[in-house]
Amino acid sequence: MSRYDPSVIEPRWQAAWEAAGAFTARRDPLKPKYYVLEMFPYPSGRIHMGHVRNYTMGDVVARYKSASGFSVLHPMGWDAFGMPAENAAMERGGHPKDWTYGNIADMKAQMKPLGLSIDWSRELATCDPEYYGQQQAMFIDMMEAGLVYRKAAVVNWDPVDMTVLANEQVIDGKGWRSGAAVERRELVQWFFKISDYSEELLGALDGLTNWPEKVRLMQANWIGKSRGLQFAFETVGAPAGFEALEVYTTRPDTLMGASFAAISPDHPLARALEGDPAVAEFVAKCRKGGTSAEEIETAEKIGYDTGIRVKHPLDPNWELPVWIANFILMDYGTGAIFGCPAHDQRDFDFATKYALPIKPVFTADGSDAALAEAFVPMKSEKVHYIRGFAGEAVQTGDEGVAAAIAHAEANGYGKGVTKFRLRDWGISRQRYWGCPIPVVHCPTCGVVPEKKENLPVELPYDVSFDKPGNPLDRHPSWRDCACPKCGAPAKRETDTMDTFVDSSWYYARFTAPRATTPTVAEDADYWMNVDQYIGGIEHAILHLLYSRFFARAMHKTGHLPAKAVEPFSALFTQGMVTHEIYKTTDAAGRPVYHLPEDIIRSEGGATLKDGTKVEVIPSAKMSKSKKNVVDPMNIIASFGADTARWFVMSDSPPERDVEWTSAGAEAAFKHLSRVWSLCSRIGEMPADHKGEGDAELARATARAIDEVTKGIEGFAFNKAIASLYAFTNTIAKANASTPVMKEAIRTLAQLMSPMTPHMAEEVWSYQGGAGLCAQAPWPKADPALLVDDTVTLPIQINGKRRAEISVPKDMAAAEVEKIALANEDVVRFLAGQPVKKIIVVPGRIINVVV
RNA sequence: GCCCGAGUGGCGGAAUGGUAGACGCAGCGGAUUCAAAAUCCGUCGCCGCAAGGCAUGCGAGUUCGAGUCUCGCCUCGGGCACCA
């Protein structure tokens, strides 16, 4: 065995795996199945360290499960539609399709050297007509199932990307991709009725016990269930048709503290009043105040008194003014509220500004003093109701709310309703590079779904990107078609689908990626669900919630079995790969960032190669703009894939961020080299070498198997790797006979194989392992070797460790006590004091209390 | 503001309520070398010559025993948000 040279061994073993078809997923009735999936990448053209970490984690699980006797499905695909392709076409010319498929080829070529155990025969790209045609078929099924509808809606319009964004895609009032300030526009849009499933999507979160608690909580908050009271105020002086004003409140117990009613500037009543120039002016002012968090945060609460009044439901003689207010949202509740300044800070600020009454409903102690700020205790807290109208005078907010709803229902002025924050999913995008919505607009029949035999509705290739907007609208002939119903000339829909639709079912498609239907029952039944899904926390809400909805829709339309409505049985969200940032400033004082490879790191500082001092900024997510990126290809070229894989899995727990350091990468390489030379040394040992350490090494081997197995099972890869370091050191120092040494190093190879599969194969074959290491069964630890005959027990005196003794594992507590008290250190520390109590925890510890 | 999560050596991090700091990095000492790199061996929380003392953000509490459990604070990170 020569020097460790990954550039030689890695391609060799990759070829061997491919020749053996080692990773081809097969439905095997004799084996349990295991489906492991990492969130598929967007084909940007380059892989980054985050990909390496993500796919290595999945690969560790896949290889481990495969060795453990499972029939494993571990596929890979491309989330290939979306705007970067169009942006590239606009910026650099060329065609989105060519750009995308070119990137896929590039990225695949970069992923292959990582030696991932992926079944590439199942590869798919969402921009393949073979894929999106099936998506169109499901869209039509969902239309028939009543899960799709059109409506005119005020949408978030991204003026740069010239497209509509889902609410979920608006971040701080800006488009999530372009970063442009979002405007409001009204368009007719296609929607999925995800809100039909609000209750179910919320309730089913409880069953997702193998999901991070954090993600479940984020989804629950997003769905946002609330219980409250809806009732109508009778209006006085309102225009015709507005005799009643519906309001919704989650605090009906504060009804006696009402001091005004307020409506959103988008409320129909506000619109009806816009004939008044003063109202029109005020409403326009409200709409201008953009939606960015910064603006909202600093925006002053403003209101306009309409002069209309409403009658309090509990006292017809009590009238409240109706204001239009900028802080009332039209799309939550009914777009109208009653304000209770005493118990809501916003209402308090508003009332203070416009001199409206502030009357407490409840207080902490039953007094009725004037308030300096709103009193908003937890609903679970008990308070004294001084203007309550339902239930006990002293009760919790929750009880007060329940009593108020009961009171309203009993007296017929309102009813308890449950509302959700979750809104329907608008999927229309005015873009070219997406899945065409398969419907036709017919002058006589209206909106008609395309016939399934005409699918896929394929994107035309001959389009231009010289103007903003949707190229499909401008295409000379693509829109022209025959009405699927009456055959008359008609026009195609030009909206394409949100790319989140594409990623909402790809996991199901992987079970039968070439089928002529979206899924195949036997395949879906065998492979679903995804047993382990791995990806970034950034998809905690959107992608995962949409997928959960889509799986339900696919079940309803017959494309997935009932057991697959929660498609991801276990979810793991991995942390990012971070790196230090290196900064200098140019003559004009602007920051200049430098790539890690241009930096010379020395003790206490860093310089450029010409000696210029560089400022080192603490580790942050790798980003092109900060230039703190390490190209996986460079790492593979200098150290090999196994080193990159080993490093990203070591040190940090997988859910936490890992900092990439060149020292760490070199350390990983050094360790692999050490394993390599250890393997050589053992290979050169004479076959008849005898040593004294056989039993000891056998025990260490068993312990390593046990620890690494537990580490992988528990997603504690860093701990598995720590055990492997320790085991390597043990073997290196061991003096055992040749067969035991060989057994140990072969076991080491197997235990390392999920992380460093190429090195593992090389060691395995060199030490006479049968077949491929990748196909060898996972080693089992002999339970008898996991327990030691003697144990070392620390002895504490009053909780402080003072001595330790070594006793046989099964020694009776009384006997242990005797030995402990006779120990010379113990005697010395006790100094004759009487022992009050002695606690012996078998196999763990002894504590002497004086 | 609300909801989560986390604070352990110089650093990344280990630790079913039971010997705090596994494993790795960096550091230090040594071997090898003409020398260096590489490699190997040893050492490595802080104070102290030592005995020993002090140490898991801070302060209490529960316990024979607390990094771990409870309560109150502080700091940092993440998510949500004029959501009625």
**CB of A839 closer than 8 Å to CB of A820:** no
Task: Name the pairing type of β-strands A77-78 and A163-165.
Answer: unpaired
Task: Name the pairing type of β-strands A71-73 and A33-38.
Answer: parallel
Average pLDDT over residues A393-404: 83
Query: Does residue A399 or residue A726 have the better pLDDT?
Result: A726
CB of A287 within 7 Å of some strand B atom: no
CB of A213 within 7 Å of some strand B atom: yes
- Is residue A90 exposed (0-12), middle (13-18) or buried (19+ Cβ within 10 Å)? middle
- Is residue A477 exposed (0-12), middle (13-18) or buried (19+ Cβ within 10 Å)? exposed
CB of A735 within 7 Å of some strand B atom: no
Nucleotide nearest to A661 (CA to C1'): B25
Q: Which residues in A634-739 belong to E strands, given as ranges? A: 658-659
Q: Pick out residues 369-388 of chain A having their CB under 7 A from any atom of nucleic acid strand B.
A: 378
| Nearest residue to B22 via alpha carbon and C1' | A722
The dihedral through the CA atoms of A304, A305, A307, A309 has a sign that is: positive
Nucleotide nearest to A327 (CA to C1'): B82
Distance A705 CA to B22 C1' (A): 17
Distance A318 CA to B84 C1' (A): 21
pTM of the model: 0.89
Distance CA A844, CA A794 (A): 8
Looking from the CA of A517 toward its CB, the CA atoms found within 13 Å total 12
Give pLDDT, residue A657: 80
Distance A695 CA to B28 C1' (A): 36
pLDDT of A535 over the 50 cut: yes
Nucleotide nearest to A658 (CA to C1'): B12
Residue A533's nearest CA partner among A489, A492, A568 is A568
pLDDT tens digits for range A430-445: 889 999 999 999 999 9
Average pLDDT over residues A730-751: 94
Number of other CB atoms surrounding residue A69 within 10 Å: 13
CB of A839 within 7 Å of some strand B atom: yes
Distance A848 CA to B50 C1' (A): 26
pLDDT tens digits for range A358-382: 888 887 777 777 777 777 776 766 7
Give pLDDT, residue A810: 80
Q: Pick out residues 310-369 of chain A having their CB under 7 A from any atom of nucleic acid strand B.
A: 326-330, 332-333, 335, 337, 344, 346
% residues pLDDT > 70 (chain A):
95
- ipTM (interface predicted TM): 0.91
pLDDT tens digits for range A484-512: 999 999 999 999 999 999 999 999 999 99
**CB of A847 closer than 8 Å to CB of A826:** no
Strand B bases with any atom < 7 A from protein Cβ: 3-5, 12-16, 18-20, 22-27, 38-41, 53, 64-66, 78-84
Distance A214 CA to B5 C1' (A): 8
